[in-house]
Every structure is written in C-alpha cells, then in structure tokens.
Amino acid sequence: MSWLFHRHAPGEPCPFMVDMLHRRAEGRANWLTNLYVFAHVARCTPCRKFLASIETLLDKLKEAKCEEIPADAEARLLAKFESLDKD
C-alpha cells in the first residue's frame, strides 16, 4: 500500500513533504510538523536524504556567512552598475 503515498519520481522527496521538510530544516516548523516529519523520514529514504541535504546546505551557508559588509561595497556596486549602463 506504500505505492499509494509515494507516487513520484524515484529518489525524489514526496511532493507533499517538501514544504514541511524545508520548514523543519530552517527551524520554522511547529511541534506537530516536526513530529510528522520525524515519523515520515523514518520510513521514507528520499525524504530523509532530502532533509539531510537541506540541513547540510544551511550549515555550510551559515559557516560561510560574511560577518560584516565592507563599508565601500555599496559604492563599488553603484560604480559597477553605472559602468554597465554606459556600455
């Protein structure tokens, strides 16, 4: 009967779970959603892998996050856009 609930491309997460998996990985899910996701990924390998990949990506982005924006960044961007407009 599991075929009934997993009607999607092999290896892809369940379409109805994608939003919940994102919310769980980002820490925006409520307790009920967390419980549902936990129960689902315990039995669904594609969703479990998808959740792990999102969490890994978010961890890498947090590590790479720039602490401060350079003071001259805005001026350099504006100069770049102006030079593109002239071409």
Contact (CB, 8 A) for 54 and 22: yes
pLDDT per residue, tens digit, the chain (87 aa), is 454 555 667 788 998 999 999 999 999 999 999 999 999 999 999 999 999 999 999 988 888 776 677 778 778 888 887 777 665
Q: What does the pLDDT read at residue 32?
A: 95
Range of the domain at 38: 2-86
pTM: predicted TM-score of the whole model, two decimal places: 0.66
Q: What does the pLDDT read at residue 36?
A: 95
CA distance 32 to 14: 18
Q: What does the pLDDT read at residue 11?
A: 81
List, in order, residues 6 or more apart from 41 with CB less than 8 Å away.
Answer: 21, 47, 48, 51
Q: What does the pLDDT read at residue 1?
A: 44
Q: How many domains does the chain have?
A: 1
